[in-house]
Amino acid sequence: MDVKIEKQENSQVLMEIKISAEEIAPHFDAAAKELSKKVNIPGFRQGKIPKSVLVNYIGEAAIFEEAAKNAVPEAYLKAIAEYDVDVVAKPELEVTDFGEDKSMSFKATVTVKPDVELGQYKGIPVEKCVALPTEEDIDAEIEKARDRLAKMIEQQDDYAIAKDDIVMFDFEGFIDGVPFEGGKAENYALTIGSGNFIEGFEDQLLGFKKGDKKDVEVGFPADYRVEALAGKPALFKVKINSVRKKELPDLNDEFVKDISEELDTLEQLREKVRNDLKAAAEKVASDNVSIEALGKAVENAKLEVPKAMIEQRVDQMLEELARQMQEQGVDLQGILASSDFDTESIREQYRSQAESDIRQELVLDAVIKAENIDITEAEIEEGLANIATRMQQPIDVVRNAFSGGEMQANFYYQLKMTKAADLIFDNALVEEKFVAAEAVKPKTKKAPAKKAAVEGEKKPAPKTTNKENKAE
């Protein structure tokens, strides 16, 4: 196989590949056999036509075109493997010539991994802002624990509904005197003041009592997702079935013993909560430093992400979204095919994230090469154990799944990416500051150093929230 490679602009490579007659021969024979099943030649049964007769009848060129369907992809894969061409997107393949010597030539235009010029990635200055828990923060955590142990006490018939009560009620909604779809329910549970119902509805239940039948008038928001209801005034006929009130446990040493076998006093509980909040704040601060240091390393590097890489990543992101939605019984492709959705605008929303992710990966890949990063057997075992824990599978099952082939290669590569991110983090020049809790927010994007995604590992679909059967 004769191969010529020419670098072009924008991370493109042109490969001109010539397949010899010897390499083409088996593909030519296979194509002739396949075509003989489809061609009608008088005097011959389909599938039993001699090759020489078929050549005379339809011509060699037609058989070569059929042979190219298998010969060209096979030769392309051989060529990129032999010449170590780091392809990052689907190629454009074009047959250019069927030689008189029964050879075949074709061009492959491929997008390759772009060159990365690393900037500073060691000694990057970053601030580590650690939130100090206040007494109010500790109080709030303890109140959450009290809330978890609260008893729900059903109230007497003459009790008037107040804020934070849990009300069970029937309702039916009407617009212009006509019931609307989805506007009816029985024994609906609602916490007054939660904001889970249409604005203004919960306030009008205040003061109602068990057995009351009342009309509640509200207006649907103008931007309500059900177009037929958006901006419309509605009347709900309501019947109160029961009212329950939370009864919080007393805040004393007995409460502490109820929630912990290790603690005896309220002061001990406050100290534990204080230490837990400090540990959580320290983790958030460390995660933020890791993300910021990696982000600055990416900013310091010079590279251009090829458009083909971005589009391919967007395809993958949409495929993953479709899989997650399918698990929830939603057909994404059907939604995208609908005239109400602009597929291109949805893809555009994903492109920015796709480019950002790719830039980060390319920089980490360059760090791996610059630092000659490799992984040890102990690190492999630790990585497998982490996956086994996340997937809730025995480690032997995970080990077998990631032994050999593309799964193993991806797994090892992600471990190296994690080490590269850790190297940037470990070498950062960190200035620690202690600040108020409201001044620190977790950054939205996790660094690979903290959680490396492994291709092939099934990711859980996002959960939908159901806050006390929230009204649609």
Percent of the chain with pLDDT over 90: 55
**The predicted structure's pLDDT at residue 54:** 84
Specify the DSSP class assigned to residue 112: B
Q: Is 256 exposed, middle or buried (0-12, 13-18, 19+ CB in 10 A)?
A: buried
**The predicted structure's pLDDT at residue 454:** 37
Question: CA-CA distance, 257 to 269, in Å (whole number)?
Answer: 10
Cβ pair 240, 157 in contact under 8 A: no
* 349-361 confidence digits (pLDDT tens): 899 999 999 999 9
Residue 232 has pLDDT above 80, yes or no: yes
* 5-37 confidence digits (pLDDT tens): 999 888 899 999 999 989 988 998 898 888 888
Two tokens at 336? 């995208």
* 407-450 confidence digits (pLDDT tens): 899 999 999 999 999 999 999 999 988 876 665 667 665 445 33
Question: Mean pLDDT across the stretch 187-207?
Answer: 91
**The predicted structure's pLDDT at residue 181:** 87
Cα 283 versus chain centre, distance: 23
Residue 470 has pLDDT above 50, yes or no: no
- Lowest mean pLDDT across 108-117, 269-278, 398-407: 398-407
Q: 2-111: what CATH class?
A: alpha beta
Question: Mean pLDDT across the stretch 103-129?
Answer: 93
* 146-159 confidence digits (pLDDT tens): 988 888 899 999 99
- Angstrom CA distances, 178 to 47, 159, 173, 221, 222, stand at 69, 32, 8, 19, 20
Provide the CATH topology of domain 151-247.
Chitinase A; domain 3 (3.10.50)
Residue 208 has pLDDT above 80, yes or no: yes
More confident residue, 321 or 136: 136
Q: What are phi and psi of 448, to 5 degrees?
A: -55, -25
The pLDDT mean for the chain works out to 86
**The predicted structure's pLDDT at residue 368:** 96
Provide the CATH topology of domain 266-439.
Trigger factor, domain 2 (1.10.3120)
Only one residue has tokens 């059903």, namely 154
In the chain, list all ranges with CATH 1.10.3120.10: 266-439
Q: State whether the Cα torsion 330-334-337-338 is positive or negative.
A: negative
Cβ pair 16, 93 in contact under 8 A: no
Which regions of 99-176 does DSSP assign to beta strands (E)?
A: 104-111, 125-132, 151-154, 166-175
Q: At 116, is the pLDDT very low, low, confident or very high (cuts 50, 70, 90)? A: very high
pTM: 0.69
* 381-405 confidence digits (pLDDT tens): 999 999 999 989 999 999 998 888 8
**The predicted structure's pLDDT at residue 440:** 62
**The predicted structure's pLDDT at residue 203:** 92
In the chain, list all ranges with CATH 3.30.70.1050: 2-111
